[in-house]
A and B are shown apart, each in its own frame.
Chain A
Amino acid sequence: MKFKDIFLFSSFSIVSQKMRSFLTAMGIAVGVVCVIFLTSMGQGLQDFMVSQFTQFGSNIIAVQPGKTQTLGMPTGVHGTIKPLSFDDAEAIERLPLIDYAVPVSGASGEIESDTRLRRSLVVGTGADYDIIVGADTMLGQYLPKDNPKTPRSFAVLGPKMRDELFGNENPLGKTVRVNSQRFRIVGVLPPKGDFLGFDLDDAVYIPIAKFNTMFNKNGFQEIDVVHNENATTEEVVASVKRLMISRHGGEDVTITTQADMIETLGEIMDWLKFTVAAFGGISLLVGGVGIFTIMTVAVNERKSEIGILRAIGASQSRIREVFLLESIFLSIFGAFLGLIAGFMIINIALYVYPDLPIAVAWEYITYSVFISIFIGLFAGFLPARSASELDPIEALRSD
């Protein structure tokens, strides 16, 4: 028997039971759709997060107070941690490999123009923050290089904040009140978008000394460090760490590089994708149980046919092949249905919500198709074996 003929015979058996085959294949299809949709969401989320972290140049590292043992955000242990000070920032900036060291803190506050009031993000920064966010096209200028401890009351607006408070008017030289303190607007940043849920465009930027007074803070949330393009991240981290240990008398800061962040994120995202893929895998397994059931029923219903085939020259192994192939066809058909449905759902979802973070995770889709075929093979194995082991005389007798 040639493969093509077994193929035709098996597929014909499936076609002759259209409804049943379709429903059985649906079990697998649902599993494949789950895998496609869930992993694509996971991949999209990962891509989105990575793009968030990489939108600022790759030669930036963050120094935060508190030491963490594992990766993640630092948690301070009371009493043993010195806050990050202006002197720390200045000292870091004087290091040979470092171009800029800019303190940054953020909090939420009330921002008012003459006519409007808005609750949003207030960011305290040093003078060179515009370099960190890569704002090369500003309206006006960024905060001037005053003495960082006694700066003048100047403010810079994010573009969305400008729109909300001043509409189309030119805000330069106008006054804005941040938590009732008056600042004069000297610049507007270009749009930068969200960063980890903070809308950097809907924010007001003020000197960090003013920020600390306003929110009664001692020290900074972090110091963002821009290092020389030619220096490696490792040597920069090492030199900053050495400096901070000598200044604070112990290692009480956490230095986070972009590579760290992306790596941590990548690990989390890989687990997330694996988990959702496993959920999809469970539905694939359930689909496999469906195939097993239907193949067992088919073998019982077609006993007489099995007897006939044996009588007209089919060996046991041939019978096994026919039923095994049938079961694999069901699963391939299901996987195919699932692929079509999955991509349709993704496209419809993207059509309805164009901003949805979805990116097709091809590797998982390939896995899901192979696993489907494997499940078909596995689910068909026992029924095919029992078909091949039927006594042909017994089988012919059962009509």
Chain B
Amino acid sequence: MIRLDKLSRKFQVGNQVVHALDEVDLEINTNDYVSIMGVSGSGKSTLLNILGLLDTPTSGDYILSGINTSKMDDDEMAGIRSAKIGFIFQSFHLIPRLTAFENIEMPMILSGISPNERSMKVDSALEKVGLTDRADHKPEQLSGGQRQRVAIARSIVMEPDVLLADEPTGNLDTTSGNEVVKLIEELNSAGLTLIVVTHDREMGERSNRLIELRDGKIINDQRKP
């Protein structure tokens, strides 16, 4: 469902060109569970941003569900982000002045879904992450683990095809980290393609497929038997 063809991303830093991604070829199947690992600067975050259509490649193609995204304009990319991609981040990235409910509602507000439908879907997302009783809490009133679960609820409320997680347990203690991992793995079992960027080897090894990057190239791509 995801295919990268000779995909490169260069940054100009001063008068030096940095190849964050260097002619990467990659295919990821529907419902796969992929970890991307690498030291910092290896290009793993850039890869995730490009997969999430927050960044565009300098050259090469990114084909998502059969659609080539390279020539899309901003509106089209926003539409795909909204419909097909869910994001979760290391630092949760909830909007502080909105309640858990409103944060989860936000993607649906942006895509113009009616209030009735929104409210039903938020309730069911809250139930999935086990936070029904925290709907009216603001982020600051929630623990780290709870915040990440709200973020997960927000990422799945539009029923995307792909869930992109950037160090999802990086800011969490072991217990809540494990809960979060369990939760996203359940979502994967239910049919969601899961791509996790991490530098936690233990977490990386839970996935079905472990990809290692260095200097913008894939140096290791191993599948669990």
Contacts and interface: CB of A to CB of B under 8 A. Distances in A.
B75 A312 contact: no
Interface residues of B, number: 29
B106 A312 contact: yes
Contact of B111 (A310, A313, A392): A313
Q: Is the interface of A mostly helix, strand, loop or mixed?
A: helix
Contacts of B154: 312
A314 interface: yes
B38 interface: no
Contact of B112 (A2, A9, A308, A399): A2
Interface string B140-177: 00000000000000110010000000000000000000
A113 B94 CA distance: 90
A314 B75 contact: no
Size category of the A interface is: 20 to 34
Contact of A16 (B52, B87, B97, B109): B97
B132 interface: no
A313 B107 contact: yes
A313 B74 contact: no
B112 A5 contact: yes
A13 B112 CA distance: 19
A2 B109 CA distance: 8
B54 interface: yes
Nearest to A3: B112
Contacts of A311: 52, 54, 81, 87, 93
27 contacts: A12-B98, A307-B93, A308-B94, A308-B95, A310-B81, A311-B54, A311-B93, A312-B81, A312-B82, A312-B106, A312-B110, A312-B154, A312-B155, A313-B78, A313-B79, A313-B81, A313-B82, A313-B107, A314-B78, A315-B74, A315-B79, A317-B74, A317-B75, A318-B110, A392-B54, A396-B54, A396-B93
Interface of B: 49, 52, 54-55, 74-75, 77-79, 81-83, 87, 89, 91, 93-95, 97-98, 106-107, 109-112, 154-155, 158
Interface of A: 1-2, 5, 9, 12-13, 16, 304-305, 307-318, 392-393, 396, 399
Given A311-B54, A313-B110, A393-B55, 7 more contacts: A1-B110, A304-B93, A313-B79, A313-B81, A313-B107, A313-B111, A315-B75
